Amino acid sequence: MSSAKIKELFYRGGRNLRERLFILITSLTAAAWLITIIGKVIAGVSAGSVIGIVTAAVLVLLIMIESVRSANIKHGAIFVSVIVSLAFPLHSFLRGGGINGDAPIWFLFGVFFINVCLTGEMRVLFLVLECAEAVFCWYFSWKMPALIYEETEISDEFVSFAALFLASAVLCVMTEVSNRFYLSEVKRSINQKKEIEALSEAQNHFFSSMSHEIRTPINTIIALNEMILRENISDEVAEDAVNIQSASNMLLHLINDILDMSKFASGQMKLSPVSYNPGDMLSDIVGMLWIRAKEKNLDFQVNVSPELPVELIGDEIRIKQILINVLNNAIKYTHEGEVSLSIQPGEEENGILNVIYTVSDTGIGIKKENIPYLFTAFRRVDEEKNRHIEGTGLGLSIVKQFVDLMGGRITVNSIYTKGSTFIIEIPQKVSGKQNIGEIKLDSLSGVGKRREHIAGFEAPEAKVLVVDDNAANLLVVSKLLRITKVQTDTVASGEEALRRTLNIHYHVIFMDHLMPNMDGIECLNAIRSQIGGHCRDSKIVALTANAGSECKTLYEKAGFDGYLTKPITGDILERELYRLLPRELTFTKAEAEDILKETVSWMNKGERKKTVVITTESVADLPQEIIDRYGIAILPHLVCTEEGNFMDGVEIETKGMLDYMQDISRKVVTRSPDIQTVESFFAKQLTSANNIIHISISSGLANSGCPAAQEAARAFNNVTVIDSGHLSSGQGLMVIEACRLVEEGKSPEEITEHLESLKYRIHTSFVVDSLDFLARAEQVTEGTAAVTKALMAKPVLVMRHSKLGVGKIYFGSRDRVWRRYIRSVLRRPSAIDRRILFVTYVGLSKRDMEWIREQVEKYAEFDTIYFQKASPVIAMNCGEGTFGLLVRDADVLNVTDR
């Protein structure tokens, strides 16, 4: 076989290293066995031994050839391992003199073969099998040596030596060739890495060049369009100019996304924290996106908490990019209704404020199964339905990467076909103690207004030089600066700039970077070192289309006094010029502020979302004053009758339902809210809160609402459903405790952890006149109800292990039974938390309640005793004459008591 064919055998089809080693060691093993035959013939061993070796060699060669041909080397390696590591050593042991022959060598060789050719569980299995076979052979040799075929002593020694020599030769060849294979793989990996790095560098260069080339004409469009808006033009022309401005900014934003994606892919993305005003940032965002919302007839709402600091330290550009991406996405997928942005301060610790941005829409929503793929680049969820919606698929992926880079987090709540809410939390440093207060956000281009620009200063004696190889950029800067009355000169190259600076003193020079022959950095250095030059100490600003944090660092190191990116606006250009000019040359105008015409703006409502809201169900049996005090949202269960379905406590009350149930022929059942209803309930609550903790009725009860609530919560990232393990006011006690923790500012995680331990310390029980109602509601069997009724017994229903069952049975008059029940609950008052006692009842008179109060006060004094009428759903399960004492243990104190 020629060397070319051998190379093809090892490398054809992109074989990996292990496959190549399998082919090599199998070939060498077969060759070694065939050579062994010569030694055995010389030594005069039996024909049976020779035939066994020939058979094994031929089999492994055939298996290897077939596995190579069928490209199924993995299974081929298993079959060959059976022969090499199990069959051949056993044959050598039985036919080659046992432990005195060559068997020990082939057992060791089998271990080596297994480790080279097999991986994972299959490798472990074969090693165990070979070990077991070796133990068996040694034991067999010890107990039954007569059954082992022995050759002559000379032949055994010769065969053993030959096996040792051949196995060593195979190992040596394998080691050498393996090293060459490994070196080849390493070399190939290094070459591939270099190719990938070169490709990545070329890609980054392409994106950077593309960004630069596109920013240049956009700079011209935006700047000249701004000049149009400054002129005395008709409203129709102004509206067209506003649309041009919005479209240009969106195009610029898309370019930034593409450039940033390449930076993330190459690991070159860095943040540039600066001090910024959130109000100014929002004005830019609204100005860009309002027009897009208006085109789709969508309401665009912005709510900013007055408590937000007026100045923060963060990467303003990236935060703006995050909000634009999420808002643009919301507008894109919303066909009617509204899109809203809410900003509020979260927790502050050591000068770091967690700023919470909430973007909500009434759009098409996101399916649950698509939420995990929402932040995947180039992938759009529900592609078939959204195929006509424009977009690159980059936006949300970049958002997620930026949020992670800033140490924040992003969560998504969505109901398919109803809308979505994105909650973004970004930690930022607070600069100063002043709050932003009540602000107006006036879109510069989106609400049917234009502005008459008045410069903040004038400097008629100041001289400015603009250096750029693009004539349009020179025109843009000179026109934007015209209102300041500075003396502006423009040149198209670095060489021409040097000729000017040799004779004229310029106070400020705006310099492009990428220019032919002499770039901006070279020109800067030449000006600084120019012999006889008049501008060696002048302020020089890099005005370039190169964007990115690394560019800012580059220009700072190069010695520039400032850095501005294209496209440039008049306001930014004027502020930079004012910062650098000597104060004696500038005249600040008192009336220098934007005069808004036809202003249509919205006042900041200052509505701050709650960090956590507590919700529960109508079966929690809470007093209305508690619900109102804590703002608890209630999800009603349903009472289903032959006349229709009624919401518990809203459309039906307890007495009317009990009267209806007096006719036993009438069927009445309760039903918990379905998943869709619970999802809508959660979505509504999230419009005013960032997190929900929903305390549900025990999942161990029939028709419990807990499973539906838990399933509905999967559509949201910040909804926690707690299975209370109770019902009625036992569930209500957990709700009250949760509300107290919210008032103390505890986090959702802390509240959840506390409630999970609390539910085992709450005691829910009721004494009932009979079990008839529970039997009708299928909570207990009809047989149990019939037995207690026949015995004139009054059972006590107790919640244990999340299920309702009969805990005790009392006999006697009603007063005697009630007295014994009250004593059983309150017999150890020191073990009870005496701040709140619930007496939850069905169909009791005022006299009954007074009697119960007197009995309770004999055992313990409570700060508050609530006599709470049970909800219709609870009442229909228990019937009239039912009441329960619901308490919690004293040793479980709320967080304020600790």
At 638, is the pLDDT very low, low, confident or very high (cuts 50, 70, 90)?
confident
pLDDT at 55: 85
Q: At 487, which CATH number?
A: 3.40.50.2300
The answer to whether residues 645 and 741 belong to one domain is yes
Domain boundary among 193, 221, 239: 193
pLDDT exceeds cutoff 70 at 656: no
pTM for this predicted structure: 0.55
Domain-embedded: residue 233: no
The answer to whether residues 553 and 626 belong to one domain is no
pLDDT at 761: 93
- Interval 392-401 mean pLDDT: 74
Domain-embedded: residue 203: no
pLDDT exceeds cutoff 70 at 34: yes
CA–CA distance, 74 with 18 (Å, rounded to integer): 10
The answer to whether residues 424 and 471 belong to one domain is no
Q: Which domain holds residue 888?
A: 613-897
What percent of the chain stands above pLDDT 70?
Answer: 80
At 134, is the pLDDT very low, low, confident or very high (cuts 50, 70, 90)?
confident
Domain-embedded: residue 254: no
The 10s digit of each residue's pLDDT in 198-233 is 777 776 667 666 666 676 677 777 777 777 777 777
601 vs 630 pLDDT, higher one: 630
CA–CA distance, 872 with 863 (Å, rounded to integer): 28
The answer to whether residues 671 and 815 belong to one domain is yes
pLDDT at 161: 67
Q: Which residues pair with 487 in a beta bridge?
A: 463
The answer to whether residues 441 and 461 belong to one domain is no
CA–CA distance, 110 with 89 (Å, rounded to integer): 8
Q: Three-class SS of residue 257?
A: helix
CA–CA distance, 646 with 638 (Å, rounded to integer): 5
Domain-embedded: residue 227: no
Q: From residue 178, how far is each of 20, 25, 114, 172, 182 by CA, in Å?
A: 9, 10, 15, 10, 6
pLDDT at 662: 60
The 10s digit of each residue's pLDDT in 417-445 is 888 899 999 999 987 778 887 766 544 33
The answer to whether residues 174 and 45 belong to one domain is yes
The 10s digit of each residue's pLDDT in 262-297 is 667 666 677 878 888 888 888 778 877 887 888 888
pLDDT at 158: 59
CA–CA distance, 313 with 276 (Å, rounded to integer): 6
834 vs 247 pLDDT, higher one: 834
The tally of CA atoms less than 13 A away on the side-chain side of residue 33 is: 27
CA–CA distance, 293 with 246 (Å, rounded to integer): 11
Closest CA to 705 of 739, 675, 736: 675
Q: At 805, which CATH number?
A: 3.40.50.10170
pLDDT exceeds cutoff 90 at 790: no
Q: What is the count of structural domains for the chain?
A: 4
Domain-embedded: residue 671: yes
Q: Three-class SS of residue 670?
A: strand
The 10s digit of each residue's pLDDT in 35-61 is 777 766 665 666 667 787 788 888 888
pLDDT exceeds cutoff 70 at 779: no
CA–CA distance, 653 with 842 (Å, rounded to integer): 12
Any idea what the Cα angle at residue 722 is, between residues 719 and 724, rounded to 5°?
Answer: 155
- Interval 95-119 mean pLDDT: 79
pLDDT exceeds cutoff 50 at 25: yes
88 vs 830 pLDDT, higher one: 830
pLDDT exceeds cutoff 60 at 883: yes
CA–CA distance, 281 with 319 (Å, rounded to integer): 9
Torsion angle in degrees (nearest 10) through CA of 84, 85, 87, 88: 60
Tokens 């020939």 locate to: 54
Domain-embedded: residue 607: no
The answer to whether 308 and 435 are in contact (CB under 8 A) is: yes
pLDDT at 709: 94
The answer to whether residues 486 and 395 belong to one domain is no
Helix (H) or strand (E) holding 354, with range, is: strand 352-361
Tokens of 828: 């150890």
Range in 398-407, 678-687, 774-783 the model is least confident about: 774-783
212 vs 596 pLDDT, higher one: 212
pLDDT at 142: 78
The answer to whether residues 638 and 786 belong to one domain is yes
Tokens 């580059």 locate to: 554
Domain boundary among 542, 560, 593: 593
The answer to whether residues 20 and 73 belong to one domain is yes
Tokens 């002043």 locate to: 434
pLDDT exceeds cutoff 60 at 597: no
Burial of 516 (0-12, 13-18, 19+ CB in 10 A): exposed
Domain-embedded: residue 261: no
At 594, is the pLDDT very low, low, confident or very high (cuts 50, 70, 90)?
very low
Residue 597, number of CB atoms within 10 A of its CB: 12
Among 96-100, 644-648, 668-672, 865-869, the range of highest mean pLDDT: 865-869
pLDDT at 468: 93
The answer to whether residues 176 and 293 belong to one domain is no
Q: At 310, which CATH number?
A: 3.30.565.10
pLDDT at 603: 30
561 vs 595 pLDDT, higher one: 561
Q: What is the DSSP string of 159-228?
A: HHHHHHHHHHHHHHHHHHHHHHHHHHHHHHHHHHHHHHHHHHHHHHHHHHHHHHHHHHHHHHHHHHHHHH
The answer to whether residues 281 and 314 belong to one domain is yes
What percent of the chain stands above pLDDT 90?
Answer: 27
Helix (H) or strand (E) holding 723, with range, is: strand 719-723
At 601, is the pLDDT very low, low, confident or very high (cuts 50, 70, 90)?
very low
pLDDT exceeds cutoff 70 at 763: yes
Tokens 């027009």 locate to: 291
The tally of CA atoms less than 13 A away on the side-chain side of residue 480 is: 28
pLDDT exceeds cutoff 80 at 620: yes
pLDDT mean across residues, the chain: 80
Among 557-571, 793-807, 854-868, the range of highest mean pLDDT: 854-868
Range in 287-291, 563-567, 688-692 the model is least confident about: 287-291
pLDDT exceeds cutoff 60 at 652: no
Torsion angle in degrees (nearest 10) through CA of 494, 496, 501, 507: -70
Q: Where are the alpha helices (DSSP H) in 102-152?
A: 103-117, 120-143
Domain-embedded: residue 357: yes
pLDDT at 187: 85
The 10s digit of each residue's pLDDT in 168-198 is 887 787 777 777 777 877 888 888 888 877 7
Domain boundary among 193, 223, 240: 193
pLDDT at 9: 54
pLDDT at 445: 39
- Interval 808-827 mean pLDDT: 90
The answer to whether residues 669 and 758 belong to one domain is yes
Closest CA to 612 of 719, 691, 684, 718: 691
